């Protein structure tokens, strides 16, 4: 499958990211835009720089990638959930279980539709997931997985989830609005938190179930360089100055 990088490409992605972390302004969380650029560079693709489902596309290979980069404990924001007919769906969801399921199904269909549209619009055969996870230990994990294909374009099955509103919490600064939680029936764990009463953010905590095992061939790791291994600002400026003059 074209969505997967070969071992040399995986190593090259990790090498470039490791070098990026030596820059004096870098932090232990690599921005998604940097990962997108590295993936596009290594795979001969194009960074889309849009809010579409696909972040990087290789048009000649008819493959695209959804790209995410965050620390291990940071929830993944899947997308802002702009659900059609949201107001009436939310109102019905506050009344009974059927209404909550209808709203949850609409959220899942929103996610599925977003992915299907990229398959069609970009004329792709498959879409993969490229993910970077930075751990507190200094280990950085990069992995790829297949999400959908033209023949199997459904990303999530709405029958896999049940939905309930969370209990509002009062914090020191402000009241936290309730979120609609989607529970994965088979595991009994929360996979979704849809903040539909606020900024419409859709958090996908179930993404951790996609993390591969240590021996997965589509996984590669490296250790973030220590602060002592980073370029100083002066050294970086000197390097850029020499590059300009060459």
Split at pLDDT 50, 70, 90, the class of 236 is confident
Any domain includes 214: yes
Q: How far is CA 240 from the centre of its chain?
A: 32
Separation between Cα atoms, residue 177 and residue 117, nearest integer Å: 31
If we measure between CA atoms, which residue out of 198, 158, 159 comes closest to residue 178?
198
Above 70 in pLDDT, residue 245?
no
Share of the chain above pLDDT 90, in %: 78
Any domain includes 58: yes
Helices (H), the chain: 7-20, 32-43, 86-93, 97-121, 233-245
Separation between Cα atoms, residue 181 and residue 166, nearest integer Å: 7
Any domain includes 92: yes
Any domain includes 1: no
Any domain includes 2: no
Split at pLDDT 50, 70, 90, the class of 176 is confident
Please give the residue that has the higher pLDDT: either 242 or 120.
Answer: 120
| H-run or E-run covering 144 | strand 139-149
Any domain includes 156: yes
Any domain includes 151: yes
What is the chain's mean pLDDT, rounded? 92
Q: Which domain holds residue 43?
A: 7-245
Domain count, the chain: 1
| Domain containing residue 52: CATH number | 3.40.600
pTM score, whole prediction: 0.91
pLDDT tens column, 81-124: 889 899 999 999 999 999 999 999 999 999 999 999 999 999 99
Any domain includes 87: yes
């Amino acid at each position: 499958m074209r969505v997967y990088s070969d071992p040399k490409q995986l190593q090259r992605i990790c090498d470039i990211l490791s070098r990026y972390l030596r820059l004096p302004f870098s932090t232990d969380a690599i921005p998604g835009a940097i990962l997108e650029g590295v993936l596009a560079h290594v795979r001969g693709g194009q960074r889309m720089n849009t809010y579409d489902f696909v972040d990087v596309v290789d048009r000649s290979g008819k493959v695209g990638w959804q790209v995410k980069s965050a620390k291990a404990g940071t929830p993944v924001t899947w997308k802002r959930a702009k659900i059609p007919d949201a107001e009436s769906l939310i109102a019905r969801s506050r009344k009974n279980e059927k209404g909550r399921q209808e709203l949850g199904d609409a959220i899942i269909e929103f996610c599925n539709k977003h992915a299907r549209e990229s398959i069609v619009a970009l004329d792709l055969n498959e879409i993969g997931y490229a993910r970077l996870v930075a751990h507190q230990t200094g280990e950085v994990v990069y992995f790829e997985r297949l999400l959908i294909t033209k023949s199997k374009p459904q990303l999530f099955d709405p029958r896999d989830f049940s939905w309930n509103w969370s209990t509002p919490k009062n914090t020191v600064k402000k009241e936290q609005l309730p979120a609609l939680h989607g529970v994965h029936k088979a595991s009994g764990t929360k996979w979704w938190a849809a903040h539909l009463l606020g900024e419409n953010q859709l958090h996908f905590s179930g993404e951790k179930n996609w993390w591969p095992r240590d021996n997965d061939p589509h996984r590669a790791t490296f250790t973030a360089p220590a602060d002592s291994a980073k370029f100083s600002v002066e050294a970086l400026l000197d390097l850029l100055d020499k590059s300009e003059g060459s």
